[in-house]
Amino acid sequence: MHDPLHGIADPAHAVHRSILCVDVQGYGGRANWDQLAVRSVLFKALPEALADSGVPAKSLRFEDRGDGALVLVQPDVPKERLAGPFPLKLAASLERHNSSAPPGACIKLRVAVHAGEVIYDAYGVAGSAIVAASRLLDAKPLRDALRTAPGAVALITSDWFYEEVVRQCPTCDAAAYRSVHVSVKETNTRGWVRLPGGS
């Protein structure tokens, strides 16, 4: 699941990537064995949902974040695949798991979607686009939405991603998103929240 630098000749230069950040709700309060169970499901469901959405494994870079993951997607992958089929497929996969899992191994996920320039170094990736995605993931409206969501996923996109990708794509269901204000640390911006899946 981890890639090299995709043939980048000079990692000192920024490159464009689509960015997914995911975080498991309530991860830190679980017993160690439940954390392991949750991670096993997460790192199986995430790449499968992406593959089922037309995002090939060779176009992905995963970074383990303990209670979640950072996923970078190569620019050759149409961004509408991340806003159209992917949220529904991920939610359906997690909801199938939750239907038979013990309480400690049930999963609800916050997902943030953005795109922008990232820069690689020996430790991973950095850049303002990565920071922006992380701030979206921590937004209170997203946390509140997941807490009361009927399904297993609450998704937020950046304003740029919504305007340039979601609104322009007939299969991305733009009407399912609602505008929210994001205020996290130094970030004050608008995001767009969707609750895919659930009954």
CA distance 176 to 93: 20
Give the pLDDT confidence of 112-171 residue by residue, as tens digits: 999 999 999 888 899 999 999 999 999 999 999 999 999 999 999 999 999 999 999 998
pLDDT band with cut points at 50, 70 and 90 for residue 9: very low
What SS3 class is residue 26?
Answer: coil
What are the pLDDT digits (tens) for 81-107? 999 999 999 999 999 999 999 999 999
pTM for the model stands at 0.91
Q: Is 164 exposed, middle or buried (0-12, 13-18, 19+ CB in 10 A)?
A: middle
Quick one: what percent of the chain has pLDDT higher than 90?
Answer: 85
Asked if residue 178 has pLDDT above 90, the reply is yes
